[in-house]
Amino acid sequence: MPEPQRFTGFPPEAFAWFAGLRDDNSKSYFTAQRTTYDAAVRGALEAMLEALAAELGGGGAVKVFRQQRDTRFSADKSPYKTRTYGLISDRPGTLAGLYAEVSEDGLFAGTGYYALAPDQLGRFRAAVADEATGPELERAIATARDAGVALFGEALKTAPRGYPRDHPRVALLRHKSLVAGGRRAPDAGGIPRDTALAHARAVWDACGPLNAWLDAHVGASDAPPPPSRYGARRAR
């Protein structure tokens, strides 16, 4: 069994690889540049996530997602994603995964609750609207923003049904998911190991109060998982 790759950072050729993929998103390019992808892009990202998971006490599972796009239901038939991303999930004591992505624009690190089931969304909105727990969330978000972390997440265009449009936290009530993250751009030397690790740690640490709030007031869904997008899975 091959030795795991040691994380040494994201070299300049990783970002050159993404620039090349932008200009030629084809199987021929991907195949010709596969060695760079395996070592400097996917391999480096997986090694970084493994290193960070070990720092966290070894808890959690690391997964890097496949580069190929599913084009069956898309008008865009380009075969490859223009970013490579992965996750540390199943962490003890929290439902929030730790996400990292590398692309031509650099290294992005984020965390939060990426998707909310209907029961989770109900609890989220109730806690946002509550005059005790709502301001707690605002303070947690302010902590993240003070560290240069931005708030993301799918949101409605107006207040959800049952909540006034002039609610003081209507912008948060509109959210259907809540995640936060920040990006570190590469320089001429790429992104060295210590810089990449420090960036991911800083983002995730700044989002600690946000994740704690989500775990305390939203938590896991009690609903069964929805059927597959491509039809019900066959029973085994």
User: Averaged in consecutive runs of 10 residues, what is the pLDDT profile of the chain (236 residues)?
Assistant: 84 98 98 98 97 84 96 93 96 94 98 95 98 98 97 95 96 97 96 98 97 98 62 35
3-state SS assignment for residue 225: coil
The per-residue pLDDT for 1 is 55
47-93 confidence digits (pLDDT tens): 999 999 999 876 679 999 999 999 998 999 999 999 999 999 999 88
Token pair of 171 as six digits: 């912008």
Tell me if 96 sits within 8 A of 111, measured CB to CB: yes
Token pair of 214 as six digits: 């989500």
Give how far Cα 187 sits from Cα of 15, 27, 40, 49, 96, Å.
10, 28, 15, 21, 30
| Domains in the chain: boundaries | 9-217
Instruction: Find out if CATH 2.60.120 is the number for domain 9-217.
Output: no
Phi, psi (degrees; rounded to nearest 5) at 61: -115, 135
Closest residue by Cα to residue 36 from 109, 102, 86: 102
Token pair of 39 as six digits: 């070592």
The per-residue pLDDT for 60 is 78
The per-residue pLDDT for 228 is 41
Closest residue by Cα to residue 82 from 67, 71, 100: 67
The per-residue pLDDT for 230 is 35
224 backbone φψ class: left, alpha, beta (φ>0; ψ -120 to 50): beta
Tell me if 147 sits within 8 A of 79, measured CB to CB: no
130-143 confidence digits (pLDDT tens): 999 999 999 999 99
Tell me if 80 sits within 8 A of 182, measured CB to CB: no
d(CA 138, CA 49): 29
Tell me if 175 sits within 8 A of 56, measured CB to CB: no
- SS3 sequence of 57-73: CCCCEEEECCCECCCCC
Tell me if 33 sits within 8 A of 20, measured CB to CB: yes
